[in-house]
Amino acid sequence: MFDLRYHVASLTAVFVALVIGILVGVAISSHTNFDRKLLEQQKADLQRQLDEQTARAAQLAETQRAAIALSQSAYPLVMANRLHGKRIGIVFVGVLDPRVRDLVQRALDDAGALPSPRMRVLKVPVDKAALAAPIAARPALSRLANPAKPEAIGRELGIELVNGGETPLWNALSNQLIAEQGGIAKLPLDGVVLVRTA
């Protein structure tokens, strides 16, 4: 039947299985604890980063509030009579943006500029080749009819805009350049605000 060696072997096998079970359980438990600790550490790091970013955002918001308050209190002092009695024209390069026009006009009014500035709204893009034909048809302007040198046309348009009075180049190119215009064209300007919406 069964002898003592069989019982010893059976008991040894049971103890070995028990020890292996304990070791595997400890390994699984320690691995789970390690994962849990790692996750807790990552969570703590992310929370710290979130707290830092929240504090930074609050600091930036406070700085922005202070800058707005400063600009609002300094604006009247900076603008008072800055352009008193000056005529300032407005040129839009691209479509007329009513909101921007109103903001520019408000700034000019706040600075004491004279009302009814000259305004031009330019069509873009400009077809340089299309500018040559109406200019070449007018002998007084034909010297500007070189499509390779559009800066000469630009300079002359700027001079006419600022000087006021007769504007033969603006008149010649109105179909090619002007989308909209307004204001008093005869009086000279002291300055021009250039607004690029294109």
What per-residue confidence (pLDDT) applies to 134?
85
> Which one is predicted more confidently, 104 or 3?
104
Q: Taking a C-beta distance cutoff of 8 angstroms, is the pair 118, 161 a contact?
A: yes
- For the chain, the distance separating the N- and C-terminal CA atoms, rounded to the nearest angstrom, is 104
Q: For 9-21, write each residue's pLDDT tens digit.
A: 777 777 777 777 7
Q: Kindly indicate the confidence band of residue 31, based on its pLDDT and cuts at 50, 70 and 90.
A: low
Domain locations in the chain as residue ranges: 1-79, 88-196
Q: For 65-76, write each residue's pLDDT tens digit.
A: 998 999 888 888
pTM of the model: 0.63
Q: In what order do the strands lie in the sheet with 191-196?
A: 178-182, 119-122, 88-93, 191-196
User: How far, CA to CA in Å, does 183 sit from each of 108, 127, 136, 148?
Assistant: 14, 26, 28, 32
Q: What is the mean pLDDT of residues 117-140?
A: 84
